[in-house]
Amino acid sequence: MVLRGWFIYARHVTRVVVVMPAYNAARTLLRTYREIPRDVVDHIILVDDVSADDTVAIAGLLQIQTVVHSQNLGYGGNQKTCYDAALADGADIAVMLHPDYQYDATTIPTLIAPIIRGDADLMLGSRFLGDPLGGGMPWWKWLSNRFLTAIENRAFGLALSEYHTGMRAYSRALLEAIPYERNSNDFVFDQELIAQVVASGRFRIGEVAVPTRYFAEASSVGLRRSVVYGLATIRVVVRFLMHKRGWRTSTQLTTRTPGA
């Protein structure tokens, strides 16, 4: 009860906006929406990337604020619109949640608590602080995630359990400082943003356990696309190391000038 009361108080001083980058999420959007704790979340924004199903219609029935792209911009392009919309809405914290019902949205209060306390600026909802294989994660995804996470931890000087999650929370200060608009429109957007955060040296990253579900309707990247994503992630790490060591300065990894 004390914890719930603290979050009710925090809601009055911290505006929490959930953003959902959506593409063909009609079969899972309602279930995802129902799990979002409305006593903590002030507003929900869905960005539709030209879905071929009824995602937009269902979002309308649920009275979710919806931004519809005129052309498909990809996963990263969708997130750029999400964060632009959250900042325009006055968000102090933006929670990115995949609308595919894979991540347990009831854990949002735990996810954002360190940001509200001022202990973190970016929080990751980690599948690997729990039992991802028990939740149905394919073994090859488990293995590739472990491999890429080890490489990123070594490069970034961190000890995170996972970098490749579809549930994250960002402080407003971070989103205003990090030039996420310079990132890829593809899936590697998330890893580029983390590299930008680490390169800035200004922001703290934390993680909490988030249970996940794997089922037929949940979005999933196939083996071939995963290989492409893995190679792109390694390129992000190489670019970061070259920038950090002064071998090649990257404008992508340079923090945005205040007011720009």
What pLDDT, in 10s, does the model give residues 176-187? Answer: 999 999 999 999
Report pLDDT digits (tens) over 90-117: 999 999 999 999 999 999 999 999 999 9
Distance CA 94, CA 19 (A): 7
pTM of the model: 0.90
| Predicted local distance difference test score (pLDDT) of residue 257 | 64
Among 154, 166, 62, 148, which residue's Cα sits nearest to residue 111?
Answer: 166
The total domain count for the chain is 1
Kindly state the percentage of the chain with pLDDT values over 90. Answer: 81
Domain coverage including residue 200: 2-253
Distance CA 168, CA 250 (A): 25
Spell out the residues 6+ positions from residue 151 whose beta carbon is closer than 8 angstroms to its own.
233, 234, 237
Q: Is residue 258 part of a domain?
A: no
Largest CA distance in the chain: 53
Q: Tokens for 77?
A: 């392009």
Report pLDDT digits (tens) over 47-93: 999 999 999 999 999 999 999 999 999 999 999 999 999 999 999 99
Higher pLDDT, 144 or 226: 144
Q: Tokens for 45?
A: 């924004």
Report pLDDT digits (tens) over 208-240: 999 988 866 555 566 678 889 999 999 999 999
Q: Is residue 66 part of a domain?
A: yes
Q: Residue 254, CB half-sphere, CA atoms under 13 Å: how many?
A: 8
Strands 122-126 and 205-209: parallel
Q: Is residue 49 part of a domain?
A: yes
Cβ neighbours around 28 below 10 Å, total: 22
CATH number at residue 20: 3.90.550.10
Cβ neighbours around 164 below 10 Å, total: 22
| Predicted local distance difference test score (pLDDT) of residue 1 | 38
Radius of gyration of the chain (CA): 18
Report pLDDT digits (tens) over 146-177: 999 999 999 999 999 999 999 999 999 999 99
Q: Is residue 260 part of a domain?
A: no
Host H or E run for residue 177: helix 172-177
